[in-house]
Amino acid sequence: MSNLTFGIIKPDAVRAGNHGKIVDRILAAGFKVRGMKLIHQSKKQAEGFYAVHAERPFFGELTEFMSSGPCVVLALEKENAVPAWRDLMGATNPAEAADGTLRKEFASSIGENAVHGSDSDENAAIEIAYFFSKLELV
């Protein structure tokens, strides 16, 4: 188990002005922020990041949404970071997310669900490297 994971505060949450509240919740949950920046992905960058989903029917909608406005990308550290971050995020569908999770509080739909998180240690390393250079991780 790695102590690093990757997260995104998605454009819907940034547009709604909830990114500060989400960062506060991340810190309160015991995560250390090792990298954080506000970015606005191009459609091509979003397609590169989500290339694993290229054949899925939601790919176009997903990449359109993820390039629709600024988002916050995060490298987060905590013991057992991947499952801890996924627990804090909550279920993909905010209607099914547990009380106290980020998606229960800040998401509006399955498609616009406020946050992204890595699903494995391997993907966390790949996703962190997609957005951060070694110099940007402290």
Is 116 a known active-site residue? Answer: yes
Of residues 19, 40, 53, 116, which has the active-site annotation? 116
3-class DSSP state for residue 44?
helix
Q: Please state, in angstroms and rounded to a whole number, the distance separating the CA atoms of residues 131 and 76.
A: 13
Bridge partners (DSSP) listed for residue 76: 5, 33
Q: Which two tokens stand for residue 85?
A: 């971050």
Contact present, 76 and 7 (Cβ < 8 Å): yes
Active site residues: 116
